[in-house]
Amino acid sequence: MADPKLRLFFALWPDPQPRASLADAGASAWQSRSGGRATTPDNVHLTLAFLGAQPRDSATELSRAVQARSTRRPSYSLSTSIGCWRKNAIAWLGASEIPPALA
């Protein structure tokens, strides 16, 4: 049997208050526009890189590599843009520029 694949991505999770604010904004204004359902605060994140379907074993290796390089939590501000993928019923909030701390 082939090794099952996982959809992997690198992401940052905002602190609880901004995460809750973003989830509230999505639940009110953008949920009705996208036709989708609201994201819970625990799932609000900033995707840095989407890796796609990867072998399950690579998740552990990638996690170790990131932990070995992570020395501090970066400080950054975001300029945002908002959009919607109607086909998937997904509204998104994204960075309009990549902050140097996240490059």
pLDDT digit string, tens, across residues 57-98? 888 888 888 887 766 777 777 777 777 777 877 777 788 888
Question: Does the residue 16 lie in any domain?
Answer: yes
> What range defines the domain where residue 56 resides?
5-97
| CA neighbor of 77 nearest in space, from 101, 42, 49 | 101
Query: Is 12 within a domain?
Result: yes
Residue 70 sits in a domain of what CATH number? Answer: 3.90.1140.10
For the stretch 34-56, pLDDT in tens is 667 778 888 888 888 899 999 98
pTM of the model: 0.69
CA distance 75 to 43: 21
Residue 62 lies in a domain: yes
Q: How many domains does the chain have?
A: 1
Strands 46-55 and 80-85: unpaired
* Domain contains 89: yes
- Count CB neighbours of 31 within 10 A: 16
